[in-house]
Chain A
Amino acid sequence: MGDFMVKKLSYISICIILIKLIMPVQAKAIAPIIVAGVAVEVGTIAFWAGAAASVGIGVAIGMEDDFFDDLVNWANETYNNASTAIKQSISASVDEIKNAYDTTRKYVIEWSSDVQQYLINAWNEYFGERISVDPISNEIVDGWSQFFPMSNGYVPDYFYNGGKYFALIESRLGINSDIRYTFYSFQAPPYVATTKNWTSRIGYEFTNPEWTGTHNLHYVTWYCTNACQPKAMGWSTVQQYISYAPGFSTYESKSGDIYDYDRLIFANFDIYLENDIRQSDVIATPFPANYPGSISIPAPRWIDQDDGVVIEKPKIGVIPGTAITGITYAPTLTIDDAISTPATPPTPGFPDIPDPGRPDLSIFTNKFPFSLPWDIYHIVGLLSVPPKTPDFRLNTHFGSDIPVQFSHKMDYLDPYMPFFRTLIFIVVCGGFIYRTRSLLGAGK
């Protein structure tokens, strides 16, 4: 009966500890664990569950509180690493950019080659999960283009090439349709133009299609100028590869001629949770320039805000290139190295990632009998008082009139005792190591 109760109390304790550990990060932290759990074997899940329980037990018997921090921060570490590294590549003051350039935001930022390569890797890692495909609809789970007015488009595939993502659009067209496509500007118009590759699928070819695009900074619209229509009744499919730049979600609140759009008309599925801790920290929507071999990234989302930061050694401005009808580029603006090494290091204006908080275990650690592990730790802690030099004193009388006085202070050992204490500690550690071998079954 006693054993049963002890087991039951242990299970309850572990469950409560786990709940307390999980609560601060809530479901968002659980979700990736669940996803990972599906992807790996059940044994691995059990391993991590056991590890988490062991950490809980370890805390119970007196591990430092830092273990809590480690555990809680573990969930954020990946995000922090990516975003911190991106921050570190950013140094010039945003004021330099703002003062040097107009506010129309018709610019891109070209990264230096080393930063460029870094970002290719970092962005892939950082935004890779954003380029995910809805397993049900097989769509990239964000709205990124609009098919206007009559077609439903979806994105069955995309590929990566030289730092740019290209998406394959497929849409079904009805006959006798006014075939017109509009792609909005987070797919940069230059890309839409230069990667245009209209083809049709088996059996439903167009009749001499001639497409003409009209461009705007905001969007490009393609018309079939010769009344092309599918040959057959029913549906046809158009494929087109256009650039697909990840990480564009942070512009939904932008205003201005470039980014002013209503995301509602694009997205039927929003992958970005409102309280996504990463969302506040990402670089804004890429606005790719048609510039081979480069990654062009727009200003960080703070560029038009108070104290943001921009990218190290940036060249700000529109990359000079072949102009596309209807698009007016501002002249290129280059910021020299002096700006990249400012006299006073700029203070990054990035918001801190919210701390999910430390689990509140006080109610658990103070209530008897659950507090017993912490009580042991407390009592043991009482024994860990600082070393005190022995000072033996005796001051009394032998009989009635014979004084007995004795005083002996061992402070002459003070210079040597740290060494001997260390030696004793090492010996103790060695003893533990020796005993551990037999405890773990070594040599049997």
Chain B
Amino acid sequence: MMIDAIINTVLQTLETIAAAVLMLLPDSPFQSITLDNLGVLSDVMGYINYFIPMAQILGFISLYISAIVIWYSVRWILRIARYID
């Protein structure tokens, strides 16, 4: 289909441009931090996690924030569309 081909070409061009721009950026300096680098902090966090379920709480917080962001986004859009007040 002609339209398919055009859309695909546009998408691929956009992706290529985006990828080319992103390639110029530096790598994230934070990705190199690992548990091994943290040393004793890793043990301390283990002790803390023994009493407080940090992993579960942090996971929940991330999901919670996602839900809140989605809600605000949807609400914003719905307001634009005058679906709700």
Q: Do A and B bind?
A: yes
Q: Which residues of A contact B (CB under 8 A)?
A: 16, 19-20, 22-23, 26-28, 30-31, 41-44, 46-47, 49-51, 53-55, 57-58, 61-63, 273, 363-364, 366-372, 374-375, 377-390, 410, 417, 420-422, 424-425, 428-429, 432, 436, 439-440
Please report whether the interface of chain B is mostly helix, strand, loop or mixed according to DSSP.
helix
Is there an interface contact between B25 and A385, defined as CB atoms closer than 8 Å?
no
Q: Which residues of B contact A (CB under 8 A)?
A: 1, 3-5, 7-8, 11-12, 14-15, 18-19, 22-23, 25-31, 33-35, 38, 42-43, 45-47, 49-66, 68-71, 73-74, 76-78, 80-83
Given contacts A49-B77, A428-B57, 10 further A-B contacts (CB under 8 A): A22-B11, A27-B1, A43-B77, A273-B4, A369-B25, A370-B22, A375-B30, A383-B45, A385-B45, A422-B53
Give the residues in chain A near B28, CB-CB below 8 Å.
Answer: 366-368, 371-372, 374-375
Is there an interface contact between B46 and A388, defined as CB atoms closer than 8 Å?
yes
* CB-nearest residue of chain A to B45: A385
Is there an interface contact between B38 and A382, defined as CB atoms closer than 8 Å?
yes
- Least distance between B40 CB and chain A CB atoms (Å): 12
Is there an interface contact between B49 and A385, defined as CB atoms closer than 8 Å?
yes
Say which residue of B27, B59, B66 sits within 8 Å of A58 (CB atoms): B66
Give the residues in chain A near B5, CB-CB below 8 Å.
Answer: 27
Give Cα distance in the complex from A83 to B40, angstroms. 55
Give Cα distance in the complex from A54 to B61, angstroms. 16
Is there an interface contact between B52 and A58, defined as CB atoms closer than 8 Å?
no
Give Cα distance in the complex from A247 to B4, angstroms. 23
A50 and B74 contact, Cβ closer than 8 Å, known pairs A23-B11, A42-B81, A432-B64: yes
- Least distance between A116 CB and chain B CB atoms (Å): 35
Give the residues in chain A near B73, CB-CB below 8 Å.
Answer: 50-51, 53-54, 57
Is there an interface contact between A379 and B52, defined as CB atoms closer than 8 Å?
no
Is there an interface contact between A23 and B29, defined as CB atoms closer than 8 Å?
no
* CB-nearest residue of chain B to A43: B81
* CB-nearest residue of chain A to B11: A23
